[in-house]
Amino acid sequence: MGQVVDINEVGTDPHRLNSWPESAAEALKQWSIKEGYDSTFTHFRKTNGYKAVPLDGIWARAPYLHNGSVPTLMDLLQIPENRTKVFYRGYDVVDSANVGFISNVPEENGFQFFKYNTDVVGNSNQGHLYGTDLTPDEKKELVEYLKTF
pLDDT, one tens digit per residue, over 14-62 is 888 898 899 998 898 888 888 888 777 777 888 999 888 888 899 889 9
Write down the pLDDT at residue 85: 97
Stretch 130-139: mean pLDDT, rounded?
A: 97
For 59-98, the pLDDT digits (tens) are 889 999 989 999 999 999 999 999 999 999 999 999 999 9
Domain boundaries of the chain, sorted by first residue:
1-53, 55-149
Write down the pLDDT at residue 1: 58
Percent of residues in the chain assigned helix, strand, coil, to nearest 5? 30, 15, 55
| 38 and 29 Cβ atoms separated by less than 8 Å | no
Phi (first) and psi of residue 7, to 5 degrees: -55, -30
Write down the pLDDT at residue 59: 86
